[in-house]
Amino acid sequence: MFDWILPEKHAISILKKDHETVKKLFDNFEKAKGRAEKEKIITQAVTELKIHAILEEEIFYPTVRKYVGSEIMNEADEEHHVARVLIAELDHNGVDHDHRNAKFTVLAENIRHHIKEEEGEMLPKTKDLEIDFEALGQKMLDRKQRLKKQGIPDDQEHVMVAKTGGKADTPAATASRTSATSHKSRTGTSRKKGTRVASGKTRGSGAKASRKKTKS
């Protein structure tokens, strides 16, 4: 973690302030008792994170990438991607999903880790660069204002999650459904013509195909 004294509008001060805001929200979420209180925190944190990610991806990361190096920057990109998937699922699944609090807790853990790496590895490599960090900071503040006023556009992760069909399954729910289907197939309860099995093949047509093969 860094404790450098920097001007308020320095780009790094703006990022650091955002980090403190979301970390405080994560702490409050852990302490919150009621559903309404937790939901209010989720909404605030998700909005903060979406805006913060855009400022970094559009403005800060491209400016410092060549100085910091691709290893650290690519890792940061991937961490943003994972966070964006979790956020898209929180948005898509809605407030009644039974994994909502768990999903937000995992998002918070991911972001805490990401902040630790940014502050511990990425930002120390940037602070002494010959960059006009205050002009960069102003650009970030202007972008933040515009996003708050005009709304935050959906990202590719929202599109990706929407394309899954909105079943909102957890891996455990999918696994138990798949294993139930395989069990039915093994015990013969699904051996009707055209019944789909876990492999995605159609049992009826597969059997026909193999009979044809034997004939020729």
Tokens, residue 161: 């999650």
Neighbours of 134 (CB within 10 A): 15
Stretch that binds Fe ion, among 55-63, 65-73, 84-92, 100-108 (CB under 5 A): 55-63
AA identity, residue 143: R
Contact 83, 132 (CB under 8 A): no
The Cα–Cα gap between 170 and 99 comes to 8
Pick between residue 56 and residue 89 the one whose CB is nearest to Fe ion.
56
Q: Least distance (Å) from Fe ion to the CB of residue 110?
A: 11
Pick between residue 56 and residue 157 the one whose CB is nearest to Fe ion.
56
Q: Least distance (Å) from Fe ion to the CB of residue 89?
A: 19
CB burial of 56-81 (b: ≥16 within 10 Å; e: otherwise) equals beebbbebbbeebeeebbeebeebbe
Tokens, residue 120: 């511990």
Pick between residue 56 and residue 155 the one whose CB is nearest to Fe ion.
56
Tokens, residue 58: 């559009």
Stretch that binds Fe ion, among 50-58, 169-177, 188-196, 203-211 (CB under 5 A): 50-58
Q: Taking CB under 5 A as the rule, does residue 18 contact Fe ion?
A: no
The Cα–Cα gap between 47 and 16 comes to 17
When binding is defined by CB under 5 A, the residue of 10, 18, 54, 56 that contacts Fe ion is: 56
Q: Where are the beta strands (DSSP E) in the chain?
A: none
Task: Give residue number: closest CB to Fe ion.
Answer: 56
Q: Least distance (Å) from Fe ion to the CB of residue 76?
A: 6
Stretch that binds Fe ion, among 52-60, 119-127, 175-183, 195-203 (CB under 5 A): 52-60
Q: Where are the beta strands (DSSP E) in 121-170?
A: none
**Considering CB under 5 A, how many residues would be counted as binding Fe ion?**
1
Site residues (vs Fe ion, CB under 5 A): 56
